[in-house]
Each structure stands twice: as C-alpha cells, then as structure tokens.
Homo-oligomer: A and B are copies of this chain.
Amino acid sequence: MPGDTTLPPRENETSRGSYPVSERNKLRRVHERGRYDREAVHAVLDAAMLCHVAYSIEGEPYCTPTIHWREGDRLYWHGSSASRMLRQLKAGARVCLTVSHLDGLVLARSGFHHSVNYRSAMCFGTARIVDDRHEKEHALETLIERFYPGRARLLRPLEPQEVKATMVIGMEIEEASAKMRAAGVGDDEDDYALPIWAGVIPVRTVVDPLEACSRLLSDVPVPEGLSGFAPGRGLDEVLLENQRLYEMGAG
C-alpha cells in the first residue's frame, strides 16, 4: 500500500497478486466473470461503504449490514459494543463479508435471460475484536480519513470513553473472489428476431447536494476534503477516489 507508513507491513501482503482459491471461494458459475486477484476484489470493496457480514450464532446464520473499510489485506468494520454480532465475534468467529453494487437491470426477450449488471466481492476470514489501543485508534482515524479526506484533524478529538464504547472488528482476507456482469442483453440467437423490447435499465448510486447541519455556525465552509462529493457523481467513484487518496497519504 504505497505511502502508508503507519502500520507495519504484514506477511503475505501484496498490493497485487491473487487470493488463494479453495472450496469456499471457488466460483461455480463459469459463465459469469469471476476473478481472484486483489486488484479486482479491492476495486469492489473500495467503491462501497456498505457491506453485509454473515456469521453464525449457535448454528443460526445472521446477515448484518455495516460499514467497512480496508487497509491492505485487512478489512475493518465497527459497531456498538452492545451489538449481538460483536459479542459473538469476541471468540474469533468465521465470517464472510460481501460487498455488492447493482449497476443495471437487464431485460431480455425471454424470462430466462433477464439478468442484472453488478459487481460483487466475497471475502472470507476470521474476525477478531481489535483491542490493541494503538491499532484501534488508528483504525477509527482511518474510518474517517478513508471516507472523508483530511477530516480527522478537523474534528473534536475522540474521548477515551468513546473509543471504549466503539467496537472495532478486524479480519485478514484469507480468501476472496470478485464477480461482475457488465454487458447488454444476451438472448438466444433465435429470439433476437422477436418484436419484444429488450435493453438495459442502468442504475447508479449518486451523491445529492450536501445538507448542512441546521445548527452549523454561520461562517463554517464545506471543507475542501469533501469536494469529491459533488452532486450527481457516483458514490462508488467518489469512495474509490478517496481510498486512493488515503493510500497515497494525501488524506
């Protein structure tokens, strides 16, 4: 991760290269484009703020939405220390963290070939509570900096009890895969001659104009670090850009 000198380099961390392929992350549906390389997996992860984490408690699966962020091959997410997931994870639980982007609805001439355009990444590993104070404070700063360049130094500093009340979870990505579809309609050859409308309805998650807090002091401008969040831009594009800024140490 060029420019990041805060965390010591870890074993097996390379910014390129592929994640190992196992029974867990092996892609089964060969007609969809799947990749195991870090570049593809990280591109999906870094373009999102929202992820879903699967874990089990006494055999019962849970799928919890949360905010994630990445440092190299390490994923972080967080929550209240009261949360069920986090209490479970104290023991060091197996988890699967998945990020998905919906990019378009694909309408074919037959029901069978209806599809969606999307990008997704599934990451497998063992989650652990981050309780080392240095790592935890660094992770919470990264949570701000990675999404909002330059923001950490503008804020009222965290109080010790706030750090305590926030649970940070970390997971080394042991295995991962990315899948995507970015294509037009794929109909059966004979069906193209049918007089049926077919096409793609693109969908995009965009940034709307910023809404200042109603109690904002009158002379406080929007910080320069938020300029990426320009109305109409794709959220994925902004988040990817801000992750790259963070990695370059520009945050």
A residues whose Cβ falls under 8 Å from a Cβ of B: 24, 28-29, 49-50, 52-56, 59-65, 67, 80, 82-84, 94-98, 100, 102, 105, 107, 109-112, 114, 116, 118, 120, 122, 124, 140-141, 143-144, 147-148, 151-152, 154-159, 162, 165-166, 184-185, 187, 191-217, 219-223, 226, 229, 235
Q: In the complex the two chains form, is B216's CB within 8 Å of A199's CB?
A: yes
> Which has the most chain B C-beta neighbours within 10 Å: A64, A111, A235?
A111
**Known pairs A29-B80, A112-B162; A207 contacts B201 (CB<8 A):** yes
Smallest CB separation, A51 vs chain B (Å): 9
Q: In the complex the two chains form, is B53's CB within 8 Å of A56's CB?
A: no
Q: In the complex the two chains form, is A196's CB within 8 Å of B211's CB?
A: no
Smallest CB separation, A106 vs chain B (Å): 9
Copies of this protein in the assembly total 2
Please give, as numbers and ranges, the residues of chain B lying within 8 Å of A235 by CB-CB distance.
102, 203
> Which has the most chain B C-beta neighbours within 10 Å: A29, A64, A97?
A64
Please give, as numbers and ranges, the residues of chain B lying within 8 Å of A98 by CB-CB distance.
52, 63-65
Smallest CB separation, A79 vs chain B (Å): 8
A197 interface neighbour in B111, B159, B216, Cβ under 8 Å: B216
Q: In the complex the two chains form, is B205's CB within 8 Å of A203's CB?
A: yes
Smallest CB separation, A117 vs chain B (Å): 11
CA of A200 to CA of B193, assembled, Å: 49
CA of A33 to CA of B109, assembled, Å: 43
**Known pairs A56-B61, A62-B96; A199 contacts B213 (CB<8 A):** yes
CA of A83 to CA of B193, assembled, Å: 31
A191 interface neighbour in B97, B156, B208, B220, Cβ under 8 Å: B156
A205 interface neighbour in B141, B162, B187, B205, Cβ under 8 Å: B205
Q: Can you list 29 A-B contacts with CB-CB less than 8 angstroms, sorted by A residue number?
A: A28-B80, A28-B83, A28-B84, A29-B80, A49-B102, A52-B52, A54-B62, A60-B96, A60-B124, A64-B122, A65-B118, A67-B116, A105-B147, A107-B151, A109-B155, A109-B156, A110-B157, A111-B152, A111-B162, A112-B158, A114-B144, A154-B196, A155-B196, A184-B214, A185-B213, A199-B216, A200-B213, A201-B210, A201-B226
